[in-house]
Amino acid sequence: MMSMISNEGQDIKCDALTLRAIRDAMETLSGNWKLQILLALSSGPKRFRQIAKEIDGISDKMLSKELKALETNLLVTRFVYDTFPPTVEYKKTNYTETLFEVMLALRNWGLLHRQTIGKK
Amino acid sequence: MMSMISNEGQDIKCDALTLRAIRDAMETLSGNWKLQILLALSSGPKRFRQIAKEIDGISDKMLSKELKALETNLLVTRFVYDTFPPTVEYKKTNYTETLFEVMLALRNWGLLHRQTIGKK
DNA sequence: CTGGATCCTCAGGGATACTG
DNA sequence: CAGTATCCCTGAGGATCCAG
């Protein structure tokens, strides 16, 4: 017997592959910073120090690490300009747009959930 | 200037409230176990030991803790039957169904992403 | 300015034993 | 069976310093 989650005629098969896919997605967005970084870049390309200033509480180490992770996931591109002092610019990619449905679903459920739970 | 993420005429405003909502949603699903527990319960109510057996590698402590978290988030209900030895049954709620869109979006993007990144 | 290297702390989570 | 209590360890992440 195959377990399912169903809604209005659509099903999600609850198999290992699905579970893995969901976890892949969650992992590439997990942590306190990745979304904030993508948000910071949503208004245009920015430099390292500029991003660091916009995100409250992030350390250089974390910003560096998270940017690298986002880059290997093709969600951020890194441009190095050969100037002195060095200039490095980060920008979001077209691929970032594919996250739209995910963000929307998460946002909608998050809003619903806060209402449901009744957090202030 | 308000930053946005757009797609086919729809926008997500990238404000603090949205960011918080997204993180709320991610947090209630985060960790290695919550999804597996919901998956285990998607095929029907189960008892503590039964769930533990189905999920490879989970410790009693984690299962207990995660079940409690899911319960306070209204995603799982706990029934205690007054028998000896004690029987406790966990089952998913109707509210769990509201996660459908989220799961679907995450699954779809996870599948796309694995293709894009080219993991085997 | 852009980050890498190092050190350190603290909490998440495993193993085990125990209670009702 | 259904958990709780205790101990312990590891790794995520902050602070700081330094190099290109």
| Burial (Cβ within 10 Å: 0-12, 13-18, ≥19) of residue A43 | middle
| Burial (Cβ within 10 Å: 0-12, 13-18, ≥19) of residue A8 | exposed
B58 touches strand C (CB under 7 A): yes
pLDDT at A1: 45
A27 touches strand D (CB under 7 A): no
pLDDT at A108: 96
Closest CA to A76 of A100, A95, A93, A53: A93
Give CA–CA dist A104/A5, Å, rounded: 20
pLDDT tens profile A53-112: 999 999 999 999 999 999 999 999 999 999 988 999 999 999 999 999 999 999 999 999
pLDDT at B1: 45
Predicted confidence band at A27 (pLDDT cuts at 50, 70, 90)?
very high
Question: Residue A77: beta bridge partners?
Answer: A91
Helices marked H in chain A:
16-29, 34-41, 48-54, 60-72, 100-117
Predicted confidence band at B2 (pLDDT cuts at 50, 70, 90)?
low
Q: Three-state SS for A58? A: coil
Q: How far is CA B2 from CA A16, A18, A84, B12, B72, in A?
A: 40, 35, 32, 10, 35
Question: Is B56 or A12 the better-scoring residue by pLDDT?
Answer: B56
Q: What is the mean pLDDT of residues B83-100?
A: 94
Q: Is the pLDDT of residue B11 over 90?
A: no
Give CA–CA dist B86/A15, Å, rounded: 31
pLDDT tens profile B28-73: 999 999 999 999 999 999 999 999 999 999 999 999 999 999 999 9
pLDDT tens profile A53-69: 999 999 999 999 999 99
**B74, A117: Cβ pair inside 8 Å?**
yes
Residues 6+ apart with CB under 8 A from B64: B48
Mean pLDDT, all residues of chain A: 91
Question: Which residue is closest, via its CA, to the C1' of C14?
Answer: B59
B57 touches strand C (CB under 7 A): yes
Helices marked H in chain B:
16-29, 34-41, 48-54, 60-72, 100-117
d(CA A99, C1' D8) / Å = 40
Of A23, A109, A114, the CB nearest to B102: A109
pLDDT at B10: 74
Q: Domains in chain B, please, with CATH?
A: 10-117 (1.10.10.10)
A58 touches strand D (CB under 7 A): yes
**Residue A115: both structure tokens together:** 């209402």
Question: Which residue is closest, via its CA, to the C1' of C12?
Answer: B62
Q: Does B14 touch chain A (CB under 8 A)?
A: yes
Question: Is B7 or A75 the better-scoring residue by pLDDT?
Answer: A75
Closest CA to B54 of B66, B36, B70, B42: B36
Mean pLDDT, all residues of chain B: 91
Q: Is the pLDDT of residue B116 over 70?
A: yes
